[in-house]
Chains A and B, each alone.
Chain A
Amino acid sequence: MTGAEAMIKCLEAENITKVFGYPGVAIAPFYEGLYNSDIKHILVRQEQNAGHAASGYARLSRKPAVCVVTSGPGATNLITALATAYADSIPIVAISGQVSSKLLGRDVFQEADMRGATKSFVKYSYLVKDPDDIPSVFKEAFYIASTGRKGPVLIDIPMDVQNSTLKKPFVYPDSVHIRGYKPEIKVNMNQIRRVVQALAQARRPLLCAGGGVILGNAETTIRAFCEKFNIPIVHTMMGMGVIPKSHPLNFGMLGNNGKPYANNAVEQADVLIVVGARIADRAVSKPESLARRVAVIHIDIDTAEIGKNLGPTIPLVGDVDDIFKILLEEEIRPADPSWIAELEDIKHGTVDTRVFSDRYVNPNLLVQTLSDKMDDNAIYVADVGQNQLWSADNYIMKDGRFLTTGGMGTMGYSIPAAMGAKMFAPERQTVAVCGDGAFQMCMNELATMRENNAEIKIVIVRNNYLGLVREYQYNLYNGHYEGVRLGEWPKYDKIAEAYDIPFFICSTNDALDETIDAFLAYPGASLMICDVDSNDRVK
């Protein structure tokens, strides 16, 4: 058996049925292995999108997804996607071809030091030098990617290692033993006691849910916990989906792009339970001062998150679902209904003073109408920019998923990620929402989408500008708009025509209902332009 054949065997042992990739000479032996296997290869149009598609796929399957690239430029193109997955803790196993091991370090054609280059963007990486290491490397890679705090793992594998024959018989290991990696943390019952004590004394408890809740598959348990003890919930952008919008305990997204009443709830709380969130600058502007006025309980699977951004806390490290299953069994007096009533008053007393142009489509109304009309279990992928913030602010979360890159903020994420998500769950309605800037960063993937019948729906929020930077220049540089005008190109109807998908356009609020209905009703992939005023701002 060759190294390449062993790689395929490993993927089969991990039940991988699809890989996203882009071939080249240094990974060609692996592709020969793919040719002889049942694993389906999805050819993307640029390597970065293989990573984003794997991210979308992994977020839906809740297991590591695989992307494959060749050496040199193919590998370096993938780095942005790895960094994106790392910042959002998405489990990906990335395989990169490498020049022959004898040529390593000689700067030969298409050689790039991929391990060195990705060191700070992956959870772990391997350079495989012996084909007999392939089974254990793959086993470890999948294990590391999917346990503890999840994240991308890179396997860089020279061409000669793919081609050479294993000396030992192929055995895929059952278990993993890594001396320095013990992700299964037993919940510390003393800390549980401290948490329960703090909650028992709380009069105005509040739970802040981050993306870690979804990554830890703990949405149901957390909801049950909050319902049992009458604890209101706010969430970060990555925590969208922990609780439906209509839930009486949901007080919205916090942060400088969130709901004022969510931030107000944080101000009013006396005990704040932060779960699976790193509370970075976008969520709380001065996180270190938070702990001075409120008792913070910080629950995370990653010990290193404790005390990184937040000040002193009651730390509780472990699997979020395990922790909340234990906490659910505790008997704590539920929070007083007057606390919820107080938050309700603040929520209903908050008036949105922003003014949006009525010459075009109001972006808030667009997201509200669109998400309201979408299926209950639909997948909504927001790109980066004003469209992301309008989306997060107005999305009506039901029983679906809201995917976006909150950590790295990578433009061009939406279409490939939506495609990956759709390929895992073809039965679910999947909508990618992007600005006209982000769209042009990933529109090449329309071909992949068509070729693979990934029937996603794309909404382009068009204002002919890089809107969020324009807004920044408006606020900070007296409206000196430099380098942000996209202009009139491309002609989007022609793009839709080129890929043979129906084109919808909506330029007024009055036409929203009807256009969105038609757009969503069309059974296959479709493209919708929504014209918004370039003067419309997030704040």
Chain B
Amino acid sequence: MKGIFSVLVENKDGVLSGVSGLFARRGFNIDTLAVGETDNHEISSMTIVSTGDQRTIDQIEKQLNKNIDVIKVRRLSEAKSVCLEMMLVKVAYNASNRSSLIELCQITGAKIMKVAPKFLLLEYHGEPESVEDFIQLLRSYGIQEIQRTGTIAMEKV
């Protein structure tokens, strides 16, 4: 199963390595990790997505809570949250498939950030699944480089 954790942490050095180290040494998986400051400079917010069985997900929550630099842990359900991911991607094109690629961008809402002689640099954001789907669609053109932010999430209620 998938676990989405929204974690508030102290914004100081060593905290990120402490949290990621906790995953590493207990054999938990980090699928994505996104970190940024909150409106309070002393506090950062992390969204961590992990997969594992129920016991593992429960343990992750407990171990996160145990970490002294962790202020608050919330476990989000996909249904009750907004989950978003952003991606930058360079896609190769040639004369024959250029227009179909541009058409694909129009349909999916991907933004063309740069038109280069041999590639388009696209920005796309959406629910994590739709990012995956979009990547699949781009494969036939040839993906040169990809950068993803990882999931960020927030409860709707």
Q: Is the CB of A119 within 8 A of B18?
A: yes
Q: Which of B10, B13, B25 contacts A180 (CB 8 A)?
A: B10
| Chain B CB within 8 A of A307 CB | yes
Instruction: Tell yes or no: A308 within 8 A of B by CB.
Output: yes
Determine if A489 is an interface residue (Cβ-Cβ < 8 Å): no
- Cα distance A437–B58 in the bound complex, in angstroms: 41
Chain A 144-183 per-residue mask, 1 if CB under 8 angstroms from chain B, else 0 = 1000000000000000000000000000000000111100
The answer to whether B65 has its CB under 8 Å from any CB of chain A is: yes
Report which of B13, B59, B67 forms a contact with A307, defined as CB distance below 8 A: B59
Instruction: Give the docked Cα–Cα distance between A115 and B14 (Å).
Output: 8
Give min CB distance, B22 to chain A, whole Å: 8
In terms of DSSP, what is the predominant structure of the interface of chain A?
Answer: loop
In the complex, B69 has a CB within 8 A of chain A: yes
Supposing A120-B25, A303-B65, A304-B65 touch, asked if A179 and B59 sit within 8 A by C-beta, the answer is: no
Q: In this assembly, does B21 line the interface, its C-beta being within 8 Å of a C-beta of chain A?
A: yes
Cβ-based interface call for A481 (8 A): no
Which residues of chain B are near A303, meaning CB under 8 Å? 62, 65-66
Q: Which residues of B contact A304 (CB under 8 A)?
A: 59, 62-63, 65-66
Whether A307 touches B66, Cβ cut-off 8 Å, given contacts A116-B17, A120-B21, A179-B10, is no
Query: Which residues of chain B have C-beta atoms less than 8 A from A120's C-beta?
Result: 21, 25
Residues of A within 8 A of B115 (CB): none
Given contacts A119-B21, A304-B62, A304-B63, is CB(A180)–CB(B14) below 8 Å?
A: no
A119 vs chain B, min Cβ distance (A): 5
B68: which A residues are within 8 A, CB to CB?
Answer: 123-124, 144, 178, 180-181
B46 at the interface (CB under 8 A from A): no
Contacts of B67 in A (CB 8 A): 180
Q: B131 contacts the other chain (Cβ, under 8 Å)?
A: no
Most chain A CB neighbours (cut-off 10 Å) among B9, B14, B59, B66: B66
B152 sits at the interface (CB 8 A): no
Q: A179 vs B9: C-alpha distance in the bound complex, in angstroms?
A: 9
Decide yes or no whether B55 CB sits under 8 A from chain A.
Answer: yes
CA A123 to CA B13, docked complex, whole Å: 17
- Asked if A321 CB lies within 8 Å of chain B CBs, one says no
Q: Does B71 contact A (CB under 8 A)?
A: yes
Q: Which residues of B lie under 8 Å from residue A272 when comparing CB positions?
A: none
Q: Which residues on B sit within 8 Å (CB–CB) of A307?
A: 55, 58-59, 62
Query: Is A302 an interface residue, CB under 8 A from the partner?
Result: yes
Q: Is B153 an interface residue (CB 8 A)?
A: no
Chain B residues closer than 8 Å to A115, beta-carbon distance: 14
Shortest Cβ gap from B3 to chain A (Å): 15
B110: Cβ under 8 A from any A Cβ: no
CA distance A127 to B13 in the complex (A): 10
CB of A306 closer than 8 Å to a CB of B: yes
- The residues of A that contact B59 with a CB separation of less than 8 Å are 304, 307-308
| Known contacts A119-B17, A119-B21, A180-B71; A302 and B58 CB within 8 A of each other | no
Q: Which 5 pairs show the lowest CB-CB distances between chains A and B?
A: A304-B62, A180-B71, A181-B68, A179-B71, A304-B66
Q: Apart from A119-B21, A180-B69, A308-B59, what are 17 other A-B pairs with CB-CB below 8 Å? A: A115-B14, A116-B14, A119-B14, A120-B25, A123-B68, A125-B14, A127-B13, A178-B68, A180-B9, A180-B67, A180-B71, A181-B68, A304-B59, A304-B63, A304-B65, A307-B62, A308-B62
| 25 A-B pairs with C-beta separation under 8 A | A115-B14, A116-B17, A119-B14, A120-B21, A123-B68, A124-B68, A125-B14, A144-B68, A179-B71, A180-B9, A180-B67, A180-B69, A180-B71, A180-B72, A181-B68, A302-B66, A303-B62, A303-B65, A303-B66, A304-B62, A306-B62, A307-B58, A307-B59, A308-B59, A308-B62
